[in-house]
Amino acid sequence: MKDVCELIGVIIGDGSIIYNSKNRTYRLEIAGNATEDPRYFSMLSKTIFKLSKKEPKIRFRQHKKGKGITLYSDNKKFVEFLINEFKLPFGKKTFTIRIPNQFLTWKYSKHVIRGIFEADGSIYFSRSKPKSNYPTYPRIEIVTSSKNLSVQLVEILRKKSFKVQTINSDSRKTIKIYISGEKMLEKWIKEIGFSSPKNISKFLFWKTNGYYIPKTTLKERE
């Protein structure tokens, strides 16, 4: 069930569901980074196959900002399952998406939050030591345009004693939710964790060396 909850989180964060009976268009689509995300998308693909009994497709595309990767399924029954069973919305959801009520207990929400982070989150490191040539201070951040989702995330995390802060950006209509510091990062690893090689490698590089090198690739970090 934890893999399913994480998939729900990924869909909430960076997925889209198309359901148009008139045009007979039914699709789940998840977008990512072609360099950092292929192995994680393969993991998500296995979860989708487990739920739908049909293999989703993965394709690469060239965009103005670089090369992207898309995981998608055109399985009508699976799309209807996501909508009816998990109460995930289809169509435009950017400003209204929220975690469905049946996943708000910590047993499920921690896995949903991990999925949201893998889709819409980042782990950063900043310089906090004067003599350090590289950043050492960690910060976990999730960015969303949904006020509903931001309120849920803050409430859930604070109930589990995470020290959460938020920043509202009126110009971009986004809300940044973040936790900072080594203790909070270690708590996140213990209670929520990372799943993608991208974020696991960032954490392990920092944990092993005591610092992080920005703009490195997954291959370089590993």
Over 90: is that where the pLDDT of 66 sits?
no
At 23, is the pLDDT very low, low, confident or very high (cuts 50, 70, 90)?
Answer: confident
Contact 116, 101 (CB under 8 A): no
For the CA atoms of 126, 152, 199, 212, the dihedral, rounded to the nearest 10 degrees, stands at 10
- The pLDDT tens digits of the residues spanning 74-125 come to 999 999 999 999 999 998 888 889 999 999 999 999 999 999 999 999 999 9
Which secondary-structure segment (H or E) carries 62? strand 57-63
At 172, is the pLDDT very low, low, confident or very high (cuts 50, 70, 90)?
Answer: confident
At 67, is the pLDDT very low, low, confident or very high (cuts 50, 70, 90)?
Answer: confident
Q: What are residue 95's phi and psi, to 5 degrees?
A: -100, 0
pLDDT at 65: 66
pLDDT at 151: 95
Which secondary-structure segment (H or E) carries 157? helix 147-159
- The pLDDT tens digits of the residues spanning 74-86 come to 999 999 999 999 9
Query: How high is the mean pLDDT of the chain?
Result: 92
Note the pTM of the prediction, 2 decimals: 0.93
Look up residue 16 and give its two tokens: 């889209």
- The pLDDT tens digits of the residues spanning 131-162 come to 678 899 999 999 999 999 999 999 999 999 99
pLDDT at 157: 97
